[in-house]
């Protein structure tokens, strides 16, 4: 079985789906690995490193897409600028494993399905214990949370830690993390390591213990949060009345902060507005907002995706692909996730799909020319 790794086509994407060390493990398991020339270069992995591990470097895109299983970081809806151009590369019967954003761009998934591709979207992995080692969203969120704090520290006109100097004592920066998923927890830990006074908020009261364990303060708001978490552990979209009350309570908290990092994203839906333009106006000049939900509209009302906005002296950053700014380790984690996932769909050198397996069933988007994932199919009907 030939497993193939194309060079990523999404503008600015520096990650690669498979790193040399993981390629060696797949080869050891009996697979042949094809890697397009330069696929890992921008992540810090040279062609020779793949060759040294037993992989074959191929010079053309046609050669790499001749593989039986195509491993990508982004495919279909996750790479909207190039999805149409890439569509001709795929062939019937091929297995594609990638992040595809099928809930946000179901039509792109349907177009790939029409090519006869068997498509797996790793964003749809169930939140179960067995799937943790395959969870690409958590891996990439780890990088995003870390880098968000570094971005804020670079932009803020203050230093993060309290410093006692001969010229006087410098007060520590105050950082407020909104949304305590994997990205939020990593942001808390990173901001604490840099010496900031950190507080955090999440609609799910159950995360309070995690926030406190990292040495941060949990901001409590008197809101009804019974439906804030779905059965998979993800935050759910709430009603507009909930968000209105939440914004009222957050106004006072946000006004005191030097840094606000927002991470509240709901899969396949527009990000909820948590920081209004009125809140921004009430912040101190020089304050920084890093909006990790910018790709789906942003948690801050003034966010513009991949742009820097300055309003009332407050700088608002809306990065949409922070994992790609640390591509070496992001690729390393993603590659390990994919290796583990392949064990669920490849048996004795062949792709065999056990539809009783929750991991296979939930991530399978398309098969035999049709969209077979219920959630994606419902979006296409709508």
Catalytic residues, by residue number, are 127, 132, 135, 138, 234
Rg (alpha carbons) of the chain, rounded to whole number? 22
DSSP helix/strand/coil, 69: strand
- State both tokens at 86: 């890439």
How would you class 241 by CB atoms within 10 Å of its CB: exposed for 0-12, middle for 13-18, buried for 19 or more? exposed
Beta bridge partners, 316, equal 289, 309
Beta bridge partners, 197, equal 174
How far apart are alpha carbons 322 and 144 in whole angstroms?
Answer: 5
- State both tokens at 78: 């996750």
Classify strands 364-367 and 2-5 as parallel, antiparallel or unpaired.
Answer: unpaired
Q: Spell out the residues 6+ positions from residue 315 whose beta carbon is closer than 8 angstroms to its own.
A: 155, 286, 287, 288, 289, 308, 309
CA atoms within 13 A on the CB side of 321: 14
Q: Are 242 and 266 in contact (CB under 8 A)?
A: no
- State both tokens at 21: 């060390």
Give the number of other CB atoms < 10 A from CB of residue 182: 19
DSSP helix/strand/coil, 332: helix
Q: Which residue has the tokens 């305590």?
A: 180
How would you class 314 by CB atoms within 10 Å of its CB: exposed for 0-12, middle for 13-18, buried for 19 or more? buried
Q: Spell out the residues 6+ positions from residue 378 whose beta carbon is closer than 8 angstroms to its own.
A: none
- In the chain, the N- to C-terminal Cα span, in Å, equals 38
Give the number of other CB atoms < 10 A from CB of residue 222: 7
Q: Which residue has the tokens 């407050």?
A: 314
């Amino acid at each position: 079985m030939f497993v193939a790794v194309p060079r990523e086509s999404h503008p600015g994407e520096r990650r690669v789906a498979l790193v040399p060390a993981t390629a060696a493990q797949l080869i050891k398991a009996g697979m042949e690995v094809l890697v397009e020339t330069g696929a890992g270069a921008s992540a810090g992995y040279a062609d020779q490193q793949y060759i040294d591990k037993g992989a074959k470097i191929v010079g053309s895109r046609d050669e790499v897409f001749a593989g039986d299983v195509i491993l990508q970081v982004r495919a279909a809806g996750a790479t909207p600028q190039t999805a149409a151009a890439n569509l001709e590369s795929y062939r019937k019967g091929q297995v594609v494993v990638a992040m595809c954003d099928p809930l946000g761009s179901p039509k792109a998934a349907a177009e790939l399905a029409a090519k006869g591709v068997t498509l797996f979207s790793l964003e749809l992995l169930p939140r179960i214990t067995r799937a943790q080692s395959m969870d690409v969203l958590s891996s990439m969120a780890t990088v995003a949370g870390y880098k968000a704090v570094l971005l804020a520290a670079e932009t803020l006109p203050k230093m993060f830690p309290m410093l006692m100097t001969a010229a006087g004592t410098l007060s520590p920066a105050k950082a407020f993390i909104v949304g305590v998923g994997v990205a939020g927890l990593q942001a808390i830990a990173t901001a604490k390591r840099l010496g900031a006074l950190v507080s955090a908020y999440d609609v799910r009261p159950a995360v309070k213990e995690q926030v406190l364990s990292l040495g941060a303060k949990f901001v409590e708001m008197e809101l009804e949060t019974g439906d804030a978490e779905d059965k998979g552990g993800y935050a759910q979209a709430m009603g507009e009345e909930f968000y209105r009350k939440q914004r009222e309570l957050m106004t006072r908290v946000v006004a005191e902060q030097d840094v606000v990092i927002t991470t509240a994203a709901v899969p396949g839906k527009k990000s909820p507005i948590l920081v209004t333009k009125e809140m921004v106006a009430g912040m101190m000049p020089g304050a920084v907002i890093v909006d990790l939900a910018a790709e789906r509209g942003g948690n801050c009302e003034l966010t513009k995706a991949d742009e820097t906005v300055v309003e009332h002296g407050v700088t608002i950053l809306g990065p949409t692909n922070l994992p790609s700014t640390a591509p070496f380790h992001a690729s390393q984690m993603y590659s390990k996730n994919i290796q583990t996932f392949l064990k669920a769909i490849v048996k004795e050198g062949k792709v065999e799909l056990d539809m009783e397996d929750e991991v296979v069933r939930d991530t399978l988007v398309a098969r035999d020319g049709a969209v077979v994932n219920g959630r994606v199919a419902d979006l296409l009907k709508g």
